[in-house]
Amino acid sequence: MIFKIIITWFISIIILSKSTIGADEIDSFRSSPEGSVSSIGKSKHSIANNYMVVTADYRATQSAKRILELGGSAIDAAISAQMVLNLVEPQSSGIGGGVFILYYDAYSKTIEAWDGREKAPINYSQDIFLSSDGKKKGFIEAVSGGLAVGVPSLISTVEKVHNKYGKLPWNSLFKDAINYSEEGFIIGKRLEKLIKRAPHLKNQKYAKDYFELDKGGLKAGTLKTNYEFASSLRAIRDDGSKALLKGKLANNILSTVVNHKLNPGRMINEDFNLVNPLLTKPVCSSYRSWKICGMGPPSSGGITVLQILGILNNFDLSNKSLTNTNVWHLFLEASKLAYTDRGYYIADNDFINIPIKELLDPIYLKERSLLIKNNDVIKNPKKGNFKNYKASFLGQDVTSEKSSTTHISIIDGNGNGIALTSSIEFMFGSGLMTSGFLLNNQMTDFSFYPKDKEGNLIANRPEAKKKPRSSMSPTLVFDPSGNLRMVLGSPGGSQIICYVAASLVRMIDLNIRPENVTHFPNICNRGFASFVEKGEKGDILSEELERIGHEIKRKNMTSGLHIIVKDTDGYYHGVADQRREGTATGNN
């Protein structure tokens, strides 16, 4: 075993030595808590004609590849990769959080959407994040401890998908994560940096000790073990989701949440019975000649991406007379309008009537496009109105969704595809750790205020048994003949929607090659301010957009796009965003 550890350590150091960390400044927690690993340079690109895997860490990518080589399906590979990611990328996702999945079955040519979002505890109320004076709590105050934790649903969700589409036995999918937990894994530079930027890890002894905060935090290159996580994985391996929702692990989760001294949670035993991942229908629409499918509510990702593209459908972005500035002016205005609708209309559809059909109606989106002017900007975007829609929730939501999420894109040897986006919400979630893994703070994805300034109820306000709105945007793209041609998604909080939509514009309209898609500055407008990513490439674009009238703000916009594109010759192009530590690999 010692020899194996030495070899693992040596290989990891070689890989880490090839990465460089950009000197990005510390963002405020309300923008992007995760900085980039490198500047906007070259993405990681792989080409193959049999299968393709793209994940956020080379060890997870290799784990998925091993499963595919054994004859596993896309869901088998994704589960194995996700378990490894929980260990090596603990700040972003894991079994203490939730997930959204789009799955394409090549044999039946069906597209399924799986909703694995956590629900608010039974004892939740709409004023849960308000202080005694009626003002909202600070984000770090709300997120630190048990109050923001929902019962984890990731394991239950992937288990259901595996029961339907898995080829390898469930108990064979945990080997790599267990081995890394017991034999050790090398701490990466990104994890080292983020540990130092997480103020809430110190609020619990378990997490404080695990991440060695008294020693200044875990250091890159360190070999780290996690025997408790290995034990938890063995229990899940042997008993499935029951191991997490009943018995020892469930008791550990509950005790950790409710016994936090400064910010105890409202979770009770009955909340574990609420976990029931749903097979739902994806939201799909046409963009140019392509069919784009995304996740429906409680994720706002699918609808809002499709709204942006639906508005842009009314402009010819491939027109050579359009400058780069024209294209991104139109994109900012389209995203501004789409995010405005999102803020009013999208939340958990078990609690409100969401006008999905109306929001995606081409006639409606044509009307919205007429609000966009070539040389002017919309100052005060208004929500769309629908004649036959009676809305009792019309408050405008300004929820600040954080960016600690991961995305897995896989197409297996049989052509099955999976776009899996999972999250524990903020970096390191609630900061609470139990049984070897971190617990989510997904409940802070609710609006802290239940009403807006005018007294209107906000659709995405906290309520018992309700799912908080998400922006996760796992996406599948099909050509006019119905063939799966793209699988993509990204972490990035509420900006995920822009990252995905902009990537589709670049590939479909601007004919940019997959390996070059992430080389351009990220850009987004979430209803008000327009943001362009910091860096030289964004400087020129920002100046030109400001001449039109945009008020441009600059910040680090740390996307983690993981894209698979199948070209006309049948080759898969896997792309991992250079801003994070992802890798792509395939097989011929």
Active site residues: 405
Nearest to 368 by CA among 336, 344, 396: 336
Q: Burial, 394: exposed, middle or buried (Cβ in 10 Å; 0-12, 13-18, 19+)? A: middle
Q: Which residue has the tokens 């202080």?
A: 131
Kind plus residue range of the DSSP H or E element containing 66? helix 58-69
- DSSP secondary structure letters along 329-387: HHHHHHHHHHHHHHHHH-S-TTTS---HHHHT-HHHHHHHHTT--TT---SS------T
Nearest to 416 by CA among 116, 78, 119, 34: 78
Instruction: Give residue 176's Cα distance to chain centre.
Output: 23
Give the start-end residues of each E strand in 28-180: 44-48, 51-55, 98-105, 110-116
Number of residues written out for the chain: 588
| Sequence-distant (≥ 6) Cβ neighbours of residue 340 within 8 angstroms | 381, 382, 383, 527
Paired strand residues for 2:
none
Residue 322 CB coordination number (10 Å): 17
